[in-house]
Amino acid sequence: MNIYDLNQSYYLRLDIEDVLKKIDILYEVKIGDVENEFVPKTLVSNKFSWVSDECQSAFNKIVPAIKSLTKDMYAILESIYKSNKGKFDKLKLEEKYFGLKELRLLNNKFKHYFDTEPKVSLMALTLIQPPMSHQIDASINYQYKDGTFKSIRFAELVKCFLLILEDLKIVTINRV
């Protein structure tokens, strides 16, 4: 009988490997001495305008991957902290890690859609890369009740996730 035992860390490792594969679908990760660069792999020929239907279509195709990746990254972080420390002190961690609050808010929006604050929306982010193509990524916009607004590139949320895993010594990033 095959069992996916949620009480064994081996299976969490499989989940982390799956998330890393999903990240690899969206981004080429360039490891730097201090910070990593995330280069979108979704490309559209530069013969099309950055506001074209082709660019919008390419963006729409990556949204399901963004939704899945967001849910998986946040679930893994919650699991690790609850398993290792007994609780997930999200407010303390959000003070320490840039992007974790936004990852939580985006995850909540995907889980609950209409019942969450702030208002969250995804917007196509087209990085114009001459001479051949446009790179398509996502920007997440947060509109708070007090009228404040924040926009963050999705890659920043992925960076936050990887930084936390690195700090917890769950993954090792070999820096050149």
CA distance 29 to 166: 15
58 is a domain residue = yes
- Closest of 157, 158, 160, 6 to residue 80, by C-alpha: 6
143 is a domain residue = yes
Q: pLDDT (tens digit, 9 = 90+) per residue, 110-149?
A: 988 766 689 999 999 988 876 778 999 999 999 999 999 9
4 is a domain residue = no
The amino acid sitting at 175 is R
Q: What is the pLDDT of residue 76?
A: 93
Query: Residue 158 belongs to what domain range?
Result: 9-167
pLDDT above 70 for 109: yes
Q: pLDDT (tens digit, 9 = 90+) per residue, 50-93?
A: 788 888 999 999 999 999 999 999 999 998 888 877 788 889 99
Q: What is the pLDDT of residue 1?
A: 44
| Range name among 26-35, 54-63, 101-110 with the lowest pLDDT average | 26-35
Domain count, the chain: 1
47 is a domain residue = yes
In degrees, to the nearest 5, what angle opens at C-alpha 61 toward C-alphas 112 and 103?
A: 40
